[in-house]
Amino acid sequence: MNAPVIDVGGTHVTAAFVDTVRWQTLDGTRQRTPLRSDGSAAEIVATLASAIRPLGDLSASILGVSMPGPFDYDTGIGRFHDVGKFDALNGVDVGSALCTALPTPPAGIVFLNDASAFAIGEWIGGAAQGARRVVGITLGTGVGSAFLDRGHVISDGPDVPPNGYAHLLRIDGQPLEDVVSRRAIIAAYQSARSATECDTARPPAVDVDTIERRAADGDAIARGVIDHAIGALGAALRPWLVRFGAEILVVGGGIATAWELIEPALRDGLLRTDTADPLSGQAWTGGKIVHSGDPEGSNLTGAAWHALNRQTDAPLDRSA
């Protein structure tokens, strides 16, 4: 059985079929379509529909959709407001709009948070296979996260952050994404460069990939910025990984591409101890840290898995 699925990102949408025996995208079916997240609602829906059409007649299939938030995943309605992307979808019933735009709409559309899809995909067919307690994080525009128990997303209770969202955490009194995000890393680098250069003019803007490349080439300022941001991420996540009993932390997203820089700083933050906080200050030593080999593929696979298994609220058993 092959399951149709799309992964919606800020600059493109990827469509594919997922082989539900191997839990991998079917060879030759993964196709990207450019997407303007700042477009009108009609333009965004039209782009999503154009990406779905090559999958053919889906009238007998459930379409899985990996979608960034804020989004009402149960109703398919966008909740984007002043988030910098997809603002035109705020209040829009995306599921109904897609069914209207497609010549043969699917039998159903099931939406899932993209970070949750990523973590499930890693659990069912990626680096976290065989683990029971999995935490997945994605590093890009912000910090996406999901806490899984046997493939089931845990979003409440004392062992996870509010709603299971790491981006709601604080570090040293600041919101986590004011320290760890694309905008935060760029701002920190610009500020550090300005403070060390004689020229009072603001240095030219650079993106995170350039900062990471400079860090890898020996730029001490760039390396310091990356180490501080990612170390803070590890420190913020550490107590929750301990409480959750995480066996593995899987990391994806554009910022994590420079894994040789990210992994040491993240590990340092996770292995620190805080003697001032005996309840949550212990190091996370009970699991391993891995980098996703195919984050996009995991998003697709996770969305397909969720679409086919969404009827149950019990933890899922991959061996069943």
Between CA 142 and CA 293 the distance in angstroms is: 20
What mean pLDDT do residues 76-87 have? 89
3-state secondary structure of 111: strand
Between CA 46 and CA 97 the distance in angstroms is: 9
Pairing of strands 143-149, 108-113: unpaired
**Residue 280 confidence (pLDDT) above 90:** no
Write down the pLDDT at residue 197: 66
**Residue 85 confidence (pLDDT) above 80:** yes
Pick from 42-56, 147-161, 191-205, 241-255: least confident: 191-205
Half-sphere exposure of 264 toward its Cβ, with a 13 Å CA cutoff? Answer: 8
Cα angle 220, 225, 230 (rounded to 5 degrees) comes to 125
**Residue 315 confidence (pLDDT) above 50:** no
Burial of 17 (0-12, 13-18, 19+ CB in 10 A): buried
280 or 25, higher pLDDT: 25
Class of domain 2-114+296-309: alpha beta
Average pLDDT, the chain: 90
Instruction: From residue 199, give the alpha-carbon distance in Å to each of 189, 190, 219.
Output: 16, 13, 18
Between CA 31 and CA 302 the distance in angstroms is: 17
What mean pLDDT do residues 249-278 have? 88
Percentage of residues in the chain having pLDDT higher than 70: 92
What mean pLDDT do residues 92-120 have? 96
Write down the pLDDT at residue 84: 79
Write down the pLDDT at residue 275: 56
**Residue 14 confidence (pLDDT) above 70:** yes
For residue 107, what are its two tokens? 């039998």
**Residue 114 confidence (pLDDT) above 90:** yes
Interval 119-166: pLDDT, tens: 999 999 999 998 999 999 999 888 999 999 999 999 999 999 999 999
Of 88, 91, 108, which is closest to residue 99 (Cα–Cα)? 108
Task: Give residue 61's identity as a one-letter amino acid code.
Answer: S
Write down the pLDDT at residue 320: 35
pLDDT band at 319 (very low <50, low <70, confident <90, very high): very low
Q: Which residues contact 305 (CB under 8 A, 6 or more apart)?
A: 18, 20, 23, 64, 120, 121, 124, 151
**Residue 316 confidence (pLDDT) above 50:** no
Interval 174-230: pLDDT, tens: 999 999 999 999 999 999 988 776 555 566 678 999 999 999 999 999 999 999 999
Half-sphere exposure of 204 toward its Cβ, with a 13 Å CA cutoff? Answer: 2
**Residue 314 confidence (pLDDT) above 60:** no
Q: Which residues contact 163 (CB under 8 A, 6 or more apart)?
A: 155, 156
For residue 297, what are its two tokens? 């593929």
Domain 127-293 matching CATH 3.40.50.920: the answer reads no
Between CA 37 and CA 51 the distance in angstroms is: 15
Write down the pLDDT at residue 198: 57
Asked if the domains at 2-114+296-309 and 127-293 fall in one CATH topology, the answer is yes
The domains of the chain are located at 2-114+296-309, 127-293
Between CA 132 and CA 129 the distance in angstroms is: 9
Write down the pLDDT at residue 81: 84
